[in-house]
Chain A
């Protein structure tokens, strides 16, 4: 069979090519021909088709995502930290400064003491529906390699997960597989899982969302960007051998919605090997430590096509690769297949000729296959040869960075007004003590509010010995420097229902919640990574949701001074014409000066006063109460007040640092009632709550107004605490006291309304998931 070489392509300009089957549009195919001045070879066609797919090129989202770059500029990369927000202003460090922004593999944030932290959240949604275990497992593998390619040691992972209804048969197929896959990969790799979410909603049936986040740490000087600079430098491919896994998974899977019958017949799912990835990490970090790596890139979606074109684009602009040198698991693979293969656990590094022997020695020590497959040059072209003939000769930037940019049409959906008008005001509300009690227990045991321990107990939270807080705390906290106690906090949040009611506000509310969650433990929020999960960009309704959400998130990031450092977009999450709830997941990273001062969320010490911070209003649009009790979604989400969020966050961070509070927990889904349930059950301490005079008990207990938290304050600190709240203009109310019930069993007691023994509360809250998944 003739190899489709460059020469052959030049000689056969009218040869029919399967550009449509590979996911390209006719005008895109024509553009490739224009770029090259001839038809592409089949290898080149394969490269362009994967790299120009939605998942890799962001063609539908680029025009909107530019807003995030504008936030970075206005936030002032390199600007000093704003005074007053940090408790200890004597620090000389410029924590919060961005060292690498959007466009690199992952955003890098300076956290002080010479350390930088990198983090990113990505999606692996479609593969996880097809093959839950491996889809989720390889999602973890991919994001970890991204972090590694920044020069960082991965230190923690988190997983925001969304599934169809808890009771649906398919959820029993997907959820346990996904959780086992995340645990199976992450635990073997040795990364603590410190947080995440598990959310159930009908709109995710058939389109589960499996987002994976990874955090890594490094010293400033270790920052490695994806450069291939240095003519004559060698291109090294190391890790697993290349096989036929997931060929075209990126372009085929990520850009197709599922039809009604379910997962596609073509198995484009990769299989992961966490042991190999563990060796890859140790090997790579040793290479970094010895200063042997000039540039590095991981092989993720689009495999070699991506790594070679990205590395070549970033450096002098030229690279030559000998494809025959790629170690293969399957010797029958064609050059196109080798270029599209998504075999896992592979990395590509650029190494000087002087250092290559030492690098190969390190790879040998860790038993990791490593082969030189190419060389950097100044040709301005990426050339790839196979059996001695040129099969690829392209300008690399056109592959990696100059993909199509679409201006997808978008328009406010025709149903949006009606949806916003159909608010929850008329829904019958509980009024008697019994009705309140029943409502509390119903919500505490409802799928989204119930304990997720069944899931999170399958993850190792202790490995690496630096986990300070993990789920179900408000954010995960990891110590990064034992001597100083410096640590980082991470939280992810999203609310699909709020976002459907108002995408602009919904995205802002996701950021507000993650920001608040980070502040609750006593950490200063610094930066954002987002994973935007939406339906089909070819649907103007969805595209409008996306555009509005990005606009909202960018505006909120500017207001809160937390720039977006990078992220991911996942489109096509829909079955037929039913899209998922628009779900922009927002991850916030924060820094905490001394992890020993962190504030947990649970009540622990009887006698401490419980304060409610922030303002409560009658806001039930998109609330858990409306959803669980009435199956209702309509109206407006709770009002966004970013100034109030900042005031609240700054206060809690200060109070935490100064040891004024024993616990802090933010209010979100389920309102005050849910926050009390969680804070009581955490360590088994009860609470006696009194609803303030003239306040509507239903609103007080279940409203989802934002910018609120409960804190436990020791009696000795109450006066000082009240003073600083007043000084900052933060509304505060003493609403009760932590109470262990004396000789009786601890209870959650809302005076005059209801009293629930913690045993009963625990049973309702913790039984839900085990009852569903334990046969």
Chain B
């Protein structure tokens, strides 16, 4: 078990219907940080150093994935803090919430083949300067579980070109594109590099007993280092 810088507290938000909050908290713990449970109805971030929006089906994916969660009381201080530089990670449903909140551009729509897909997905880490990926090698190829029904990343051409041009595509799908995402985009970041959203689940790749690899651990340990230098909530 790695020991990160002491006292780094990472909030993990639970919405009604969140599923991977516990696993995100475990990943934080294994990486050496202290997970802090944040309740959707509570508009207080309790001075955490970073926040994870976990995977799941918040509000049953009603209306659109993340569309209702985006208006939860906890999101108000979160959006402010994110704009101010707080590291925020959105995993799967969390990525959907970040897009609905306009903290990240684009949107996630139904997988092009219309089925839920669960597989061990090959990815390339293309941006290692963000708060959540500084622990990876440039262009490192990793395997992380992917499991979603609405994982197709879409945006207009201008936005896509901007993302590519600015190097803001953080993770890209390798081999088969599993869901129809434009430009094989699996995860992106904002201009500042503190907000990252991705469809695959790094929290499920932190030990070899339950995951295909431990390639996901660096997402959480990167943040421990970033958080120490960065902004408090």
Contact = CB atoms under 8 A, between A and B. Distances in A.
Q: Do chains A and B touch in the complex (CB under 8 A)?
A: yes
A458 B115 contact: yes
B95 interface: no
A461 B118 contact: yes
A457 B16 contact: no
A359 interface: no
Interface in A174-222: 180, 183-184, 187-188, 190
A461 B115 CA distance: 15
Contacts of B118: 457-462
A595 B211 CA distance: 13
Interface in B2-24: 16-17, 19-20, 22-23
A184 B211 CA distance: 23
A479 B210 contact: yes
Looking at A184, A187, A274, A465, the one whose CB has the most chain B CB atoms below 10 A away is A465
Interface string B46-73: 0000000000110111100000000000
A273 B57 CA distance: 12
B17 A465 contact: no
A184 B62 CA distance: 13
B204 A457 contact: no
A468 B145 contact: no
Interface string A459-474: 1111111111000000
Looking at A188, A190, A462, A479, the one whose CB has the most chain B CB atoms below 10 A away is A462
Contacts of A276: 60
B110 interface: no
Contacts of A732: none
Given A465-B203, A466-B210, A457 B23 contact: no
Contact of B57 (A188, A366, A468, A774): A188
A534 B203 CA distance: 43
Contacts of B57: 187-188, 190, 274-275, 278
A461 B16 CA distance: 21
Nearest to B117: A457
Interface in B161-190: none
Interface in B103-161: 113, 115-119, 145, 147, 149
Interface string B209-225: 11100000000000000
B209 A275 contact: no
Contacts of B149: 187
Nearest to A187: B116
B146 to A, nearest CB: 9
Given A183-B116, A187-B116, A279-B16, A464 B22 contact: yes
A751 interface: no
A772 B145 CA distance: 26
Contact of B60 (A273, A366, A458): A273
A461 to B, nearest CB: 6
Nearest to A277: B60
Nearest to B178: A457
Nearest to A179: B115
B232 interface: no
A565 to B, nearest CB: 27
Looking at B62, B116, B145, the one whose CB has the most chain A CB atoms below 10 A away is B116
B14 to A, nearest CB: 9
B57 to A, nearest CB: 4
A367 interface: yes
A468 B210 CA distance: 5
Contacts of A596: 209
Nearest to A274: B60
Contacts of A367: 16
A465 B60 contact: no
B61 to A, nearest CB: 7
Contacts of A274: 57, 60
B83 interface: no
Given A275-B17, A462-B201, A462-B204, A184 B116 contact: yes
B192 interface: no
Nearest to A462: B204
A296 B76 CA distance: 39
A465 B23 contact: yes
A488 to B, nearest CB: 14
B217 to A, nearest CB: 13
A485 B208 CA distance: 13
Contacts of A273: 60
B19 A465 contact: no
Contact of A188 (B60, B113, B204, B211): B60
A124 B57 CA distance: 25
Interface in A447-462: 457-462
A606 B26 CA distance: 35
Contacts of B204: 462, 465
B16 A468 contact: no
Contacts of B59: 275
Contact of B115 (A180, A190, A464, A466): A180
Contacts of A467: 210
Contacts of B116: 180, 183-184, 187, 458-460
Interface string A514-552: 000000000000000000000000000000000000000
23 contacts: A187-B149, A188-B17, A274-B57, A275-B59, A276-B60, A278-B57, A366-B16, A458-B116, A458-B117, A458-B118, A459-B116, A462-B211, A463-B23, A463-B147, A464-B19, A464-B22, A464-B23, A465-B204, A467-B210, A479-B210, A485-B209, A596-B209, A774-B113
Interface of A: 180, 183-184, 187-188, 190, 273-276, 278-279, 366-367, 457-468, 479, 485, 595-596, 774
Given A275-B16, A464-B23, 20 more contacts: A180-B115, A183-B116, A187-B149, A188-B61, A190-B19, A190-B57, A273-B60, A274-B57, A275-B17, A275-B59, A275-B62, A278-B57, A366-B16, A367-B16, A458-B116, A458-B117, A465-B204, A468-B210, A479-B209, A479-B210
Interface of B: 16-17, 19-20, 22-23, 26, 56-57, 59-62, 113, 115-119, 145, 147, 149, 201, 203-204, 209-211
